[in-house]
Chains A and B, each alone.
Chain A
């Protein structure tokens, strides 16, 4: 899109938004329920793989059965691979999925499009035990209205092959240094949202850019971030979406350093023979994810939906999911229910200082998500275009 038109369009939209008096978000026109009645008998779930197991993958891993037995709500599960796929499924099948586990880079899009409804957290008893630092976040709460129940969180980490990378890196800059000895063996997450990772790096290496939130980048800041990523391109040996692809690369030595999830490192270490990898959250901080269970604004199974939200974040189930998937549970009481007593410690579940500099994925919007009003920020669409340009 040509720049002038783009600016004009954004300007026009800002005026319309101002005229509507609502900062761009549709006013909730729903009657938020005040009580939960009997279940409707069915519930359709859209979730990250591994979040809602019904025995299909492993007969012993089934946390929908107890829910179905207790509530009579028959659960059908559909999984998705990326936040973009989730959004696309949800928007092309309106009303099909009653609840969705949305990461921050999908949740705001769902709210803005009016696809999900506000959630009365009083009707979810287990909400009380959710870590306070996960509540009322910009990706699950809009204008003071809560749109869902936090599920779990994780940080993107820096992984390296300890037998080939020494000293063990402690900074993301090792992945961006043009003179890096690991050129051609850098493994990078392949999604537009990875642009935020480079923004995190610039927050500490180029303070003069004054980036305060990696998801709120104005024109100058965005250009600098994109430059950094283009400079990184020759070093990259692999862009990964499927995490099995990254595991293959690290096992084979095709990649020796890269951005990863904790669960990947743990799976590699658990292999026989173990793949010698180390993970660290670098000094600059990191991006991460915090997922939220949301309810479709067109749902016909509202009672089942509320019952499900409460079930899925209940201490025992939340603990099982966290261990199965490999992330920190959202429910503080889940830590007493994990099979591995040290699990919550490994995943820093209650270590608030660990999460302080973790920037959870969030949809970039033209109205800067850091609250600046004097400039416009690059929206997600611009991020997507930039990402394809970076990859060339």
Chain B
């Protein structure tokens, strides 16, 4: 902040700025024009277009999109049991991953927020954030190496006479990988949520005879629900939309795989119709989350 050169010098510029000061509405409109133009027109517009596409079809000869209204894609998705199975499987996976992450995240988040010294706290926060930015693809690939038949996991388990889930047609391996990949997204909001609880509340609970468990159930848990929901938005949504980790560690299909496959055929309208499924699930989830105050906890 040294020079004053950046000060607008032109008279017209100053007059404009002065005029804007007196017209708050116009200033607001100018502030909002670019970001809302981008997010509402470009992004929500794209989502609308995707929705429209889902009602079109594909010419079997040329692969070109035929722009005539037909509900056939949705009829297929709703009537063919395959898509129901895959959707349920994907949602079940997302729920399992979310619950696992919540259970694993709670103790460490609690330790960070309420037990650790402030120095340890800072170190732990960085330690949790750092892996989040380490290449997602490389982490997923590492799990392929870990789960492989001759990999580390079986090497560790073999003295116990056990075997890992392997890379075949089962979902245990993928459940581990997703839990691993998304865990920090759960720890961080939970940590922030726990830290916001005033210590006096916990003391009051203890003074009134609340034991550890009672305090947890009646005081702590209700207060961190928004943080839990905030974290679950990420674990849930990231699991629903991933098509790369499944292709690396399992041969079981998830909804993302089907969307990507149809995108490549290319049968864009059908891929679009399929992607409406996770879209609807997450939007409903978000609306519920907002009611629970999760957005303030993000």
A in complex with B: yes
* Bound Cα distance from A113 to B62, whole angstroms: 4
Is A356 interfacial (CB-CB < 8 Å)? no
Contact pick for B150, options A82, A85, A113, A253, CB 8 Å? A253
User: Given contacts A13-B61, A84-B264, A113-B63, are A249 and B258 in contact (CB under 8 A)?
Assistant: no
Convert A23-34 into 0s and 1s, putting 1 for each residue whose CB lies closer than 8 angstroms to a CB of B.
010000000000
- CB A57 to nearest CB in B, in angstroms, measures 19
Q: B247 in the interface, Cβ–Cβ < 8 Å? A: yes
Known: A24-B61, A88-B263, A388-B253. 20 other contacts (CB 8 A): A2-B72, A13-B61, A88-B264, A109-B62, A113-B62, A113-B63, A113-B64, A236-B168, A248-B144, A248-B148, A252-B149, A253-B149, A254-B166, A366-B61, A380-B60, A384-B261, A384-B267, A388-B258, A389-B80, A392-B252
In whole angstroms, what is the CA distance A391 to B144 when docked? 20
Question: Which residues 2-29 of A have a CB within 8 angstroms of B?
Answer: 2, 5, 9-10, 13, 24
Q: Are A249 and B264 in contact (CB under 8 A)?
A: no
**CB of A117, distance to nearest CB on chain B (Å):** 15
Q: Which B residues from 188 to 226 make CB contacts under 8 A with A?
A: none
Considering the complex, give the chain A residue whose CB is closest to the CB of B169.
Answer: A236
Q: Which residue of A lies closest to B264 (CB)?
A: A84
A114 touches B62 (CB 8 A): yes
The verdict on B6 contacting chain A, using a C-beta distance below 8 Å, is no
A84 to B261, CA, bound (A): 9
Given A84-B265, A254-B148, verify A238-B61 contact (CB < 8 Å). no
* Cα–Cα, bound, A239→B151 (Å): 19
Interface string of B35-71 (1 = CB under 8 A from A): 0000000000000000000000010111110000000
Q: Are A238 and B167 CB-contacts (below 8 A) given A84-B265, A384-B262, A391-B253? A: yes
A9 closest partner in B (C-beta): B60
Q: How many residues of B contact A (CB 8 A)?
A: 33
Inter-chain CA distance A365–B167, complex, in Å, is 34
**A172 vs chain B, min Cβ distance (A):** 20
For the complex, give the distance between the alpha carbons of A388 and B256 in Å.
Answer: 12
CB–CB B263/A237 < 8 A: no
Q: In this assembly, does B76 line the interface, its C-beta being within 8 Å of a C-beta of chain A?
A: yes
Q: Are B72 and A1 in contact (CB under 8 A)?
A: yes
Find out whether the CB atom of B60 lies under 8 angstroms from the CB atom of A381: yes
CB of B251 closer than 8 Å to a CB of A: yes
A2 touches B75 (CB 8 A): yes
Q: Report B-chain residues with C-beta under 8 Å of the C-beta of A236.
A: 168-169, 251
Q: Which residues of A contact B (CB under 8 A)?
A: 1-2, 5, 9-10, 13, 24, 82, 84-85, 87-88, 91-92, 109, 112-114, 184, 190, 236-239, 241, 245, 248-249, 251-254, 365-366, 379-381, 384, 388-389, 391-392
Interface status of B85 (Cβ within 8 A of chain A)? yes
**CA–CA, A254 and B253, complex, Å:** 19
A91 touches B266 (CB 8 A): yes
- B contact residues around A113 at 8 Å (CB): 62-64
Give the distance in Å from the alpha carbon of A252 to the alpha carbon of B164 in the complex.
Answer: 13
Smallest CB-CB A-B distances: 4 pairs: A252-B149, A84-B264, A252-B150, A113-B62
B82 in the interface (beta carbon within 8 A): yes
B164-193 residues at the A interface, CB under 8 angstroms: 166-169
List the B residue with the shortest CB-CB distance to A13. B61
Structural contact, A112 and B247, CB atoms closer than 8 A:
no
B267 touches A381 (CB 8 A): yes
Closest to B258 in A: A388
CB contact under 8 A between A392 and B85, given known A5-B72, A251-B150? yes
**Contact between chains at A237 and B265 (CB < 8 Å):** no
Inter-chain CA distance A392–B81, complex, in Å, is 10
Whether A84 and B266, one on each chain, are in contact in the complex, defined by CB atoms closer than 8 angstroms, is yes
Which of B61, B261, B266 has most chain A Cβ within 10 Å? B61
Q: Are A254 and B61 in contact (CB under 8 A)?
A: no
Whether B251 and A109, one on each chain, are in contact in the complex, defined by CB atoms closer than 8 angstroms, is: no
| Inter-chain contacts of A389 with B (CB < 8 A) | 80, 82
Provide the residues of chain B in CB contact with A248, threshold 8 Å: 144, 148
Whether A112 touches B62, Cβ cut-off 8 Å, given contacts A2-B75, A87-B266, is: yes
Complex Cα gap A340–B150 (Å): 33
- Distance in angstroms between the alpha carbons of A34 and B64 in the assembled complex: 31
Question: How far is it, in angstroms, between the C-alpha of A190 and the C-alpha of B168 when the chains are bound?
Answer: 13
Q: A209–B122 Cα gap in the complex (Å)?
A: 70
CB proximity of A215 to chain B, nearest CB, Å = 15
Return chain A residues, CB-CB under 8 Å to B167.
238, 249, 254
Please measure, in the bound complex, the distance between the C-alpha atom of A251 and the C-alpha atom of B169, giving whole angstroms: 19
With beta carbons under 8 angstroms apart, the residue of B63, B85, B144, B169 that contacts A87 is: B63
B148 x A252 contact (CB < 8 A): yes
Interface mask (B245-282 → A, CB under 8 Å = 1, otherwise 0): 00100011100001001111111000000000000000
In the bound complex, what is the Cα–Cα distance between A245 and B58 (angstroms)?
32
Whether the pair A237, B63 counts as a contact (CB closer than 8 A) is no
Q: A2-B72, A13-B61, A388-B82 are in contact. Are A241 and B247 (CB under 8 A)?
A: yes
Q: Are A384 and B265 in contact, with the CB atoms below 8 A?
A: yes
Which residues of chain B are within 8 angstroms of A381 by Cβ–Cβ distance? 58, 60, 265, 267
Nearest-CB distance from B160 to chain A (Å)? 19
The answer on a CB contact under 8 Å between B76 and A1 is yes
Question: Which residues on the B side are within 8 Å of A112 (C-beta)?
Answer: 61-63
Which A-chain residue is minimally distant from B145 (CB atoms)?
A: A248
A109 and B63 contact, Cβ closer than 8 Å, known pairs A1-B72, A384-B267: yes
The contact sample of 5 A-B pairs, CB cut-off 8 A, is A10-B60, A88-B263, A379-B60, A381-B265, A392-B82
Q: How far is the CA of A297 from the CA of B75 in the complex (A)?
A: 37
In the bound assembly, the distance between CA atoms of A84 and B260 in angstroms comes to 11
- Give the docked Cα–Cα distance between A112 and B62 (Å): 5
**Across the two chains, which residue of chain B brings its CB closest to A253?**
B149
Q: Which chain B residue shows the least CB distance to A391?
A: B253
Interchain CA distance A112-B144 in the complex, whole Å: 40
Q: Enumerate chain A residues within 8 angstroms of B144, measured Cβ to Cβ.
A: 245, 248
In the assembled complex, how far is the CB of residue A15 from the closest CB belonging to chain B, in whole angstroms?
13
B84 smallest CB distance to A (angstroms): 12
A391 near B251: Cβ-Cβ < 8 Å? yes
Task: Establish whether residues B266 and A184, one from each chain, have CB atoms under 8 Å apart when the complex forms.
Answer: no
Within 8 A of A (CB), among B67-105: 72, 75-76, 80, 82, 85
